[in-house]
Amino acid sequence: MNFKKIHNTFWEQGYVIFEKFFDDALMDNYNDKILQHYGVNPDWEHTDEFISKSAVEVIPWFPYRDGQGGFDGIDKDKIFNRITDALLKDGWNNLYCMMMFSKAGSKGQAWHQDCPPDNPLKYNLNRLVYTHDITDETGGDIVIMPKAHKAGILPVGKPHEDIDGQLVFQPKKGTVVFLHGHCFHRVMPVKKDRISTNFRAVPLGTPEDITDVCVYRNMKYRFSTSEVIEERS
């Protein structure tokens, strides 16, 4: 693996993608485990105000916070973590591991930045791992605006509207996407139940609550208090 090239691609584009990174058996095992957690008809955890205003429909689960863990096949993978070393050269910590579930027929996730981009040195690194194929049938493509980690704040606009230059991806089982938290991204509407997993990391010295405030095109939202902290128009 050419870690220097990976580093350069990530820092130029704001993301870097690896296909077939994890093997099918591990992904199937984790996919089943996640589905079992959610059960067949999970309830939304966010407030109705958040869901309607943000155009985000996703139910998060933090398995390591529940003391269940159980995803070390990803979390402790040597190459996965060596790539992280290469991206965050001055050291890093795990932030948290978050599983995400979106029901068939739901909106996906509107354009956002995972944290405000006020300080370019304060950000989260998404390490997204896909445990099942994303296809035309499933919907839920991930859309990324390349280089937007250097573009300042996400422009005001309609939550799901296309942005010139956006790239649409359908990650397959075992794909890993390393994505800068300031890089604009969204998830297209979901046609079949969708799972994604995120083993978030942060550079050393980043506050633990870095992702508490998320930037959308129409607002900034604080998850810990479930409130819109700024309307954007």
Interacting residues with ligand AKG (CB under 6 A): 100, 109, 114, 126, 128, 142, 185, 187, 196, 198
Full DSSP string of 111-138: EEESS--SSTT---EEEEE-SS---TTT
List residues bridging with 99 in a β-sheet.
61, 197
Q: How far is the CB of 22 from ligand AKG (least distance, A)?
A: 15
**Quick check: 57 binds Fe ion (CB under 5 A)?**
no
CB closer to ligand AKG out of 1 and 146: 146
CB closer to ligand AKG out of 3 and 84: 84
Q: Which residue is nearest to Fe ion (CB)?
A: 114
CB closer to ligand AKG out of 3 and 163: 163
For residue 206, the partner it binds in Fe ion, ligand AKG, none, with Cβ less than 5 to 8 A by kind, is none
**Quick check: 114 binds Fe ion (CB under 5 A)?**
yes
Q: Give the residue from 59, 36, 39 showing the smallest Cα distance to 190.
A: 59
Contact 84, 161 (CB under 8 A): no
Burial of 223 (0-12, 13-18, 19+ CB in 10 A): middle
CB closer to Fe ion out of 26 and 51: 51
Q: Give the residue from 122, 118, 140 showing the smallest Cα distance to 180.
A: 122
CB closer to ligand AKG out of 83 and 176: 176
Contact 140, 190 (CB under 8 A): yes
Q: Which residue is nearest to ligand AKG (CB)?
A: 196
Q: How far is the CB of 222 from ligand AKG (least distance, A)?
A: 16
Going across the sheet that includes 194-203, the strands are 15-18, 176-180, 125-129, 194-203, 92-102, 59-61
Write out the residues near Fe ion by the rule CB under 5 A.
114
